[in-house]
Chain A
Amino acid sequence: MKINEFIKELKETLELENVELNEDTNLRNLEEYDSLAMLSIIAIIDENFGKQLSAQQFADVTTVKSLIEKIGLDSFG
């Protein structure tokens, strides 16, 4: 999965039609980034990368870039 595809999937999953989402967006500032959004993100990561982020790793996520780094840059196409 490419980074831009991942960001697109995130945007759809978090239902952010009218909100700009890029690598520098701070997820913590988004109203839509709640514990339920995290379930969907866990599913996206599991489905596309076969990985799981722990609750602690999620706690350290700030920007979309930091989420991508937690998944691991080398996991992306």
Chain B
Amino acid sequence: MAFLKFNKIGIEGISACIPRKIVRNRECLELFGEQALKKSIKTTGVIERRIANENECASDYCYEAAVKLLEELKIDRNSIDILIFVSQTPDYRIPATSIVLQDRLGLSKSTAALDINLGCSGYVYGLSVAFAYSLQESINRVLLLVGDTVSKFISHKDKTTALLFGDGGTATLIGKNSKFSNSYFSLNSDGSKNSALKIKAGGYRNPSSTGTLSPIIHENGNIRNDEQLFMDGTEIFNFTIREVPNDIKRLLEYSNTNIEDIDFIVYHQANKFITDYLTKKLKYPLNKVPYSLSKYGNTSGLSIPLTIVSELKEKINNNKLILCGFGVGLSWATALIDFSDIYISDLMQL
């Protein structure tokens, strides 16, 4: 049972960086008819997205976000003990991008650097790892960078995914301080449904070939190659309604907290219809659930910190938040975190 509890460890600050380039869904008429396009925008909640340029990687957005955060908080870079990079779009197959970032950010060589390959659940999982390391007496500061350029593996001719995703990078500084009260995490996985969100080829199970890069017309008319994302929307929705409300309830029970005491729930930004439905199921007020989905789309692991930066900067003040990430894997994680005195940087664009 991956239930975790921490005390006097918390988030000092968060920053986020997104691409300047905007793609507006209502302009994507070639794939959808006008009616279908309107409906898609209405159900998913995604109106426009930020798309990375060809030469930009997730690490670039994380780098900019990290530099901004460290400068604004006046953090000595030598004081960073651990660097964690969470992404499913690394710079290279090897070496780990976190190590490349250690050098780019000018961190000390005695910084531990590691990557985590998770998407939608990646921020909460990443936080849990950062918090766990912080239990060590010698670990005072952990820098968690979460970024993705999902747009680069989406087929523009696949209706299930073409209008959903956006790119960017975030930086979160985790530290020790007596101002932080208890935080709790619940971490879960279900590999039996791993095919629900998948890039079939390009790894070692189904290596890259000219075949895997050839577009295939699937039975519903969607066109993609095997190195582009496949998504089974029905399976994902079923999974979400089956698991997410239960996980949130379990964590509330574990932490002895009532849902009325939660100031905001920040979900992974996947689909507004789905997360509104979850909120109704939990009997939680819709106006305490912020969304960045309409402006930035589904930004994978960074959607939670991006939403905090873009929507809660002026609203957050010593609040208890539930963060819930769910999706690719299938993997899902919920955290209940005390956001005491948190510093939130202005959203930046690259």
Contacts and interface: CB of A to CB of B under 8 A. Distances in A.
A71 B66 CA distance: 50
B234 A55 contact: yes
B235 A54 contact: yes
Interface in B26-63: 36, 39-40, 43
Given A39-B273, A39-B274, A43-B277, A34 B36 contact: yes
B234 A38 contact: yes
B237 interface: yes
A28 to B, nearest CB: 12
Nearest to B44: A36
Contacts of B235: 54-55
Nearest to B159: A35
Contacts of A36: 39-40, 43
B20 interface: no
Given A36-B39, A36-B40, A39-B43, A54 B237 contact: no
Interface in A41-55: 42-43, 46-47, 52-55
A67 to B, nearest CB: 14
B77 to A, nearest CB: 46
A42 B40 contact: no
Given A52-B242, A55-B232, A39 B39 contact: no
Interface residues of B, number: 19
Contacts of B36: 34
Interface of A: 34-36, 38-40, 42-43, 46-47, 52-55, 58
A39 B241 CA distance: 11
Nearest to B43: A36
B160 interface: yes
Contacts of B39: 34, 36
B273 A40 contact: yes
Nearest first, the 8 A-B pairs at minimum CB distance are A55-B234, A36-B43, A52-B238, A43-B277, A55-B235, A46-B241, A42-B237, A55-B232
A47 B160 CA distance: 24
Determine which residue in B159, B238, B241 has the highest number of CB atoms from chain A within 10 A of its CB, and name it.
B238
Contacts of A54: 234-235, 238
B128 to A, nearest CB: 28
B279 to A, nearest CB: 12
Contacts of B273: 39-40, 43
B233 interface: yes
A39 B237 contact: yes
Nearest to A15: B39
Interface in B235-268: 235, 237-238, 241-242
A42 B277 CA distance: 11
Contacts of B40: 36
